[in-house]
Structure 1
């Protein structure tokens, strides 16, 4: 089966790993702010949106909140861009049940982070993803982020999983360009290599990536999506100029953990509150001042 069949819109360009706006008063999900943010990133030119990824603080939202976030996003986006939904965890059977219980109608794909904390073997990672892909009614995108999961999907593991007809790509956030090159060199033609590191988007596109799932694009959708499109068009010099403009902001997004920095930027831009849920804390005054200066 062709992975890029009619079920899967072309997830090329800039996908945004959407934050979840919270009320600064009681930390409840701020749905009016969510709608503002959705309009902000779509009007800013992003090609698709990832709801309930790790940037969305998914470890601290309830099952009911996750379902409502997806419902509101589907209703408000109304087909303007594709939606990807994050479903992952370190209990394979529980993730499988969650896939079955989630209303995935209108969802282009699932983004699923590699199991965290357990530190499974590569064989265990393969078995985990194969079981999820067998269960999923929509295509699955792998997510390799060793800095958070404490385990890495090797290039060999990714290539083995790429053979599964319902596994259509990988968000690669290992930061290991050699590993990404190995995937690009040997992957099936229809398997999507997606940058999971904002700053590596342009170099990864130069050797075969189709785009990025970005944190920065929450607050800076226009310059970031312009940069990605320039790289996809082969104008790496112009794309690099856009990247250099964003370069000073990037470390501030992660200094006090993601999504603290980008939420502080969104608050300064008037899009949503900078509130995050414990164990995270909102950006310090020092960090806010440095972000404000760059803005």
Structure 2
């Protein structure tokens, strides 16, 4: 079963005049691969997946797979209606992906027992590893430690993207050693790696990508002093990228490099002017 580690970039979805810009998407993937990332996540939160049709999500996945090897691609899969989830899952699994990133069903706030049943049904029908996505401030439900421990017994459930906001939960998951723990809150990357986490799914690693890759290398070499310096160098940028609803600031930063239009789909809006000014200033300073 695959093990997930290192820096995985949850891709933005570029748009041009309301339509997906597949040329920009593939160029972005090529650039990120050249900078040494371990993989990409397609159609996650950063990719504005809820604003894409299922057909568009599969088109995005197909475009990414034209330039990124399948073993470096995780596909997001979310929703609240199991038959629709299963249909989409089947379509995804006809493609050569490394895994599925799956959050709890949003808005419904199911019980912990219901979460176990939900993820188990999906994992039972998976042919690739499942990465649990714990993000309670978006789904409305916090996955508890015992829930993770039950799900970790499933042979297809191998990792967690940790956005749970609980250092105790993070520490317990890492100490258990049953799931690969990938940090999903970029400001917590250093602490998660210090505790023994395997890596990060980091939206802000679209920017200054080499430094994120270097951070992982420094941890592998057990050079914590250098890793701390690298992380604190990244921290102002990380905070700035989340000073507007994700991925507005990231898309603006990428637009300054000519990689895509500064365009999001409703109900998302571009970053406010003060954030754009701050991003422009930070990137200008970094390029000196």
Pick the aligned partner of 2:112 from 98, 122, 139: 122
Quote the Cα distance in structure 1 between the aligned partners of 2:5 and 2:242. Answer: 25
User: Which of 60, 85, 89 pairs up with 2:79?
Assistant: 89
Distance (whole Å) between structure 1 residues aligned to residue 224 and residue 52 of structure 2: 39
Residues 59-111 of structure 1, C-alpha deviations (whole Å, 9 max, x = no match): 001111111111111112245x6111111112233212211233443100001
156-165 vs 246-255, greater mean Cα deviation: 246-255
Contact 1:113-1:142 within 8 A present in 2 as well? yes
In the alignment, what sits opposite 1:206? 194
Query: Following the alignment from structure 2 to structure 1, what is the Cα–Cα distance between the partners of residues 280 and 184?
Result: 25
Distance 2:95 2:87 in 1: 16
Deviation at 1:269, TM superposition (A): 2.0
Moved more, 265-274 or 228-237: 228-237
Mapped contact 1:21–1:272 kept (Cα < 8 A) = yes
- SS of match in other structure, 1:247: helix
Output the CA distance in 1 between the equivalents of 2:92 and 2:69: 18
Q: 1:142-181 maps to which residues of 2 (within 5 A)? A: 142-181=132-171
- Residues 117 and 232 of structure 1: CA distance in aligned 2, closer, same or farther (over 3 Å): farther
Larger mean Cα displacement after TM superposition, 232-241 or 155-164: 232-241
The number of residues matched between the two structures is 283
Instruction: Give the CA RMSD over aligned residues.
Output: 1.4
Secondary structure of the 2:96 match is coil
Report the equivalent of 1:53.
44
Alignment match, 1:42: 33
Paired position in structure 2 for 1:283: 271
Cα 1:232–1:203 shift into 2, 3 Å? farther
Task: Give SS of 2:150's match.
Answer: helix
Q: 2:106–2:140: 8 Å Cα contact kept in structure 1?
A: yes
Structure 1 segments unaligned to the other structure (5+ residues)? none
In the TM superposition, residue 251 of structure 1 has moved relative to its aligned partner by 2.4
SS at match of 1:281: coil
1:19 matches 2:16: no
Displacement of 1:44: 1.4
1: CA distance between counterparts of 2:138 and 2:60? 23
1:33 paired residue number: 24
Map 1:206-225; keep pairs closer than 5 Å: 206-225=194-213
> Paired residue for 1:66?
57
> Following the alignment from structure 2 to structure 1, what is the Cα–Cα distance between the partners of residues 120 and 55?
27
Question: 1:152-196, CA deviations, whole angstroms, 9 ceiling, x for partnerless residues?
Answer: 1111111111110110110011121111111112232xx211111
Distance in 2 of aligned mates of 1:236 and 1:203 = 11
CA gap of 1:46–1:224, structure 2 versus 1, over 3 A, is same
Query: What's the secondary structure of 1:248's corresponding residue?
Result: helix
Q: Which residue of 1 aligns with 2:286?
A: none
Is the CA contact (8 Å cut-off) linking 1:274 and 1:283 kept in structure 2?
A: no
